[in-house]
Amino acid sequence: MWVLAQAIALLFWSSVAVWASETTSASRHGTNIFAPASTPAKSITNLSVFVLVTTGIIFVVVFALIFYSVFKFRARAKDAGREPAQVYGSTQIELAWTIIPILIVVVLFLATARVIHAIQDAPEPAGAVDVTVIGHQYWWEFRYPKLGIVTANELHIPVSDPGHPTPTFLQLLSADTDHSFWVPELAGKTDLIPNHPNRMWMDPQRTGVFLGQCAQYCGIQHAKMLLRVSVDGPEDFAAWVRAQQKPAVEDAGAIAGRRVFEGNACMNCHRVDGTSADGHFGPDLTHLMSRATIAAGAAENTHDNLRLWIQNPSAIKPGSLMPAMKLSDADLDAVVSYMETLN
């Protein structure tokens, strides 16, 4: 009877799984590992399906054996007081159930090793985009060494046309603790470890925003170290690069806010290109308004959120390393208006 209950439970949960994956794939770009949009993620999905099917078959066979033996060999009233035949083992059967698993393991290993090699040992083609990703408690720094761009939390990369591939190669570093870069629909995750540079790559084949987040526990706000990858068409990407390469906009109307920014500790941690603010502990703010979110994706980049964030970062992200500067309301408004000119 209990086995029947198990089977029903199994059916139920697998339907839950299907329902869940349907609801997420219907929304924008979720983070389903079975909805890959780039070569490494696709080859992982193909391997995964192969492994799932193989293990699924093993499950069905062994489950049937357990089910059958439990059901068939249950004690019955007519057997009372009698012991069954005492069987101690059988060399032939033992050999059979040793050799078959060995063969399965060999096949699974060969299939896996092929994918490991294809992903990890892929050479970097000439047209590739290089990005250095630096993990910080609790945000992402993105530097494009060949393009001279520094930005944070929202990675922009070009879409890759299979006929004319422009993959992006990431060099992964950490400024403090361990982090892990995970955007499930683009690639498997790779850790960012201090003193241990890592590498990964992706070549997304459709445009859009792909979500992800830090996957390696890195401290109090590990949960709100979110990640967005914007995959742009070739023209959009070129336009984005041109915009990011410019120094910060100088808006005479925001001069009061800029004075507050530069007169307080803000500039010790943040950089605004073209001004005296050249800090490196926090995100580069030169083109802050080009980003859709603040606080590593913890809040939308709106006027109210920006103001709240500067006034009291803990209200959005308790444990964030940005201190509350305790600015007067007037100074706060001035800084927020200054920030809003940085597009």
Partner 1 sequence: MASDAITVPVGQTEARPWVDELHQWLTTVDHKRLGILYIVSSLLFLAVGGVEALIIRIQLMHSHNNFVSPEVFNQMFTMHGTTMIFFVAMPVLFGFANYLVPLMIGARDMAFPRLNAFSFWLSFLGGLLLYFSFVGGSGLYGAGSAPDVGWWSYAPLGARAFSPGHSSDYWTLALLVSGFGSIGTAINIIATILCLRCPGMKLSRMPLLVWMNLVMAGMVLLAITPLSAAQIMLLIDRYLGGHFFDTQAGGSAVLWMHFFWIFGHPEVYILIIPCFAFMSEIIPVFSRKPIFGYPVMVAATVCIAFVSMSVWAHHMFTIGMNSYANSFFTITTMVVGIPTGIKIFNWIGTMWGGRIQFKTAMLFSIGFLFQFLIAGLTGIMLAASPFDWQLSLSYFVVAHFHYVIVGGILFALFGAFYYWYPKMTGRMLSESLGKWHFWLFLIGFHMTFDVMHIPGILGMPRRIYTYEPGRGWDTLNLIVSIGAFIQAIAILVFLANLIISYFKGVRAGNDPWDAWTLEWSMSSPPPAYNFATVPTVESRRPLWDLKHPEDPDSRYE
Residue numbers 7-66 binding partner 1 by CB under 8 A: 9-10, 13, 16-17, 20-21, 23-24, 27, 30-34, 41, 43-44, 47-48, 51-52, 55, 58-59, 62-63, 65-66
Query: Is 204 among the residues that bind partner 1 (CB under 8 A)?
Result: no
- Residue 147 touches partner 1, criterion: CB under 8 A: no
Structure tokens at 265: 């500790």
Question: How far is residue 22's CA from residue 228's CA, in Å, rounded to a whole number?
Answer: 22
Residue 112, SS3? helix
Q: Which residues of 28-66 are buried (b: 16+ CB within 10 A; e: fewer)?
A: ebeeeeeebbbbbbebbbebeeeeeeeeeeeeeeeeeee
Interaction between residue 276 and partner 1 (CB under 8 A): no
CA nearest neighbour of 318 among 302, 285, 295, 292 = 295
Q: How far apart are CB 265 and partner 1 at their closest, in Å?
A: 20
195 sits near partner 1 (criterion: CB under 8 A) = yes
Residue 126 CB-density burial (10 A; 0-12 exposed, 13-18 middle, 19+ buried): exposed
Q: Which of 132, 198, 245, 264 binds partner 1 (CB under 8 A)?
A: 198
187 binds partner 1 (CB under 8 A): yes
Which of 153, 216, 230, 244 touches partner 1 by CB under 8 A? 216
Choose which of 136, 143, 156, 222 interacts with partner 1 (CB under 8 A).
Answer: 222
List binders of partner 1 among 167-186 (CB under 8 A).
172, 176-178, 180, 182, 184
If binding is defined by CB under 8 A, does position 84 make contact with partner 1? yes
- Cα-Cα-Cα-Cα dihedral sign, residues 31, 195, 158, 46: negative
- By CB under 8 A, the residues from 107 to 136 that bind partner 1 are 108-109, 111-113, 115-117, 119-121
Per CB under 8 A, which region of 101-109, 150-158, 252-260, 264-272 contacts partner 1?
Answer: 101-109
User: Does position 194 bind partner 1 by CB under 8 A?
Assistant: yes
Rule CB under 8 A: is residue 234 a binding residue for partner 1? Answer: no
The two beta strands, 299-300 and 293-294, are antiparallel
Which letter, b or e, does each residue of 296-335 get, where b requires 16 or more Cβ atoms within 10 Å of its Cβ?
Answer: bbbbebeeebbbbbbbebeebbeebbbeebebeeebbbbb
Q: 129: helix, coil or strand?
A: strand
Instruction: Give yes or no for residue 4 binding partner 1 (CB under 8 A).
Output: no
- Select 220 or 255, whichever has its Cβ closest to partner 1: 220
